[in-house]
Structure 1
Amino acid sequence: MMPFSDEDLQAPVSSIIKTKIAPMLARDGGAIELLTIKDARVFIQLQGSCVGCSASSSTLKYIVEKELKTAIHPDLDIVNVPQGMEDKLEEL
């Protein structure tokens, strides 16, 4: 059970993405956007050179998930939203 509300998670998740994760991805031409947080599910979208990159699943697991779960809570669920699916989060 997640001890934080989605609203409680917004600021720390956003901060970690902006200060730690985004700069790492930017070095290789990638980008990341925090779309929303619903029921402790963090919906992000990998962008830039991350789109279609064969290493994007590793980036998601070993950079994004690791940073957020270590810093905030191990039960966070991180979901990468494919391009064009931004309005269909309930399907993911």
Structure 2
Amino acid sequence: MLLDHPLLPRIEAALDDLRPYLATDGGNVRVANITAEGVLQLEWEGACGACPMSPMTRAGLEDSVRRAVPEITAVEAK
């Protein structure tokens, strides 16, 4: 179960550092899944879902999360 995933607290802490910036544009992100291969799957919320800058935002999120949680091998956004 995702809520019991051992990496989730560290991932959420890394995302919490970035969420205020997403919120300024009316958006947010939530963890949808963490695969067995270490791929973090995120779901855009609010304005982030339709934002043309979301690929760059995803890259920034990936960089931050992978620095904080090196067990994550990649970040995908839905």
Q: TM-score, normalised by structure 1?
A: 0.70
Aligned to 2:50: 52
Deviation string 1:26-63 (CA, Å, 9 cap, x unpaired) is 0111111111211211111111111121100000002x
- The structure that has the greater radius of gyration is 1
1:33 corresponding residue in structure 2: 30
1:78 corresponds to which letter in structure 2?
A: V
The alpha carbon displacement at 1:74 in A equals: 7.0
Q: What fraction of aligned residue pairs are identical, expressed as a percent?
A: 22
State the distance in 2 between where 1:59 and 1:13 align: 16
Aligned: 1:21 with 2:26: no
- The normalised TM-score by structure 2 is 0.81
Within-5 A mapping of 1:1-92: 7-17=5-15, 19-39=16-36, 40-62=38-60, 64-73=61-70, 76-81=73-78
For structure 1, list consecutive stretches of 5 or more residues without a partner in the other structure. Answer: 1-5, 82-92
Highest relative contact order (Cα 8 Å, sep 6+), 1 or 2? 2
**3-state SS of the aligned residue for 1:11?**
helix
Large movers: runs of 4+ above 6 Å: none
> What's the Cα RMSD here?
1.8
Amino acid at match of 1:53: C
Residue 26 of structure 1 aligns to a residue whose secondary structure is helix
